[in-house]
Amino acid sequence: MSRDTPVIGVTLVKRPGSPVMKVLHRRGLLAVGAAAALAVTGIVVLPAVNASAASGCRVAYTVANQWPGGFTGNITITNLGDPVNGWTLGWTFPDAGQKVGQGWSATFSQSGAAVTARSLDYNGNLGTGASTGIGFNGTWTSSNPIPASFTLNGVTCTGGVTNSPTPSRTPSSSPSTSTSPSTPPQGGTPLAANGQLHVCGVNLCNQNNKAIQLRGMSTHGIQWFASCVTNASVAALADDWKADLLRIAMYVQEQGYETNPAGFTNQVNQYVDLAESKGMYAIIDFHTLTPGDPNYNLDRAKTFFASVAQRNANKKNVIYEIANEPNNVSWQGIKSYAEQVIPVIRAADPDAVVIVGTRGWSSLGVSDGSDENEIVANPVNASNIMYTFHFYAASHTDSYRNVVSRASGRLPLFVTEFGTVTYTGGGAVDLGSSAAWLDLLDSKKISYANWTYSDANESSAALRPGSCAAGNWTNLSESGAFLRGRIRTADNF
Contact 164, 47 (CB under 8 A): yes
Q: Which of 276, 417, 458, 478 is catalytic?
A: 417
User: DSSP code of 329?
Assistant: S
Name the maximum alpha-carbon separation found in the chain.
66
- CB atoms under 10 Å from CB of 24, counted, come to 12
Q: Which of 345, 347, 367 is nearest to 356 (CA)?
A: 345
* β-bridge mates for residue 99, sequence order: 139
The SS3 of residue 60 is strand
Per DSSP, which regions of 193-302 are E strands? Answer: 198-200, 203-205, 211-212, 215-218, 245-251, 281-287
Distance from C-alpha of 443 to C-alpha of 83, rounded to nearest angstrom: 16
Distance from C-alpha of 286 to C-alpha of 283, rounded to nearest angstrom: 9
Distance from C-alpha of 267 to C-alpha of 270, rounded to nearest angstrom: 5
User: DSSP code of 192?
Assistant: H
Q: Which of 325, 374, 458, 478 is catalytic?
A: 325
Q: Name the region of 348 (left: φ>0; alpha: ψ -120 to 50; beta: rest).
A: alpha
Contact 16, 121 (CB under 8 A): no
Strands 99-104 and 131-139: antiparallel
Contact 421, 61 (CB under 8 A): no
Q: Could you confirm whether 417 is annotated as catalytic? A: yes
Query: For residue 455, what are the contacts with CB-CB under 8 A and spacing of at least 6?
Result: 225, 228, 461, 463, 464, 465, 466, 467, 468, 469
- The distance in angstroms from the start CA to the end CA of the chain is 7
User: DSSP code of 395?
Assistant: T
Contact 288, 252 (CB under 8 A): yes
Q: How far is CA 446 from CA 177, 277, 384, 404, in A?
A: 27, 25, 15, 10
Residues recognised as catalytic: 325, 417
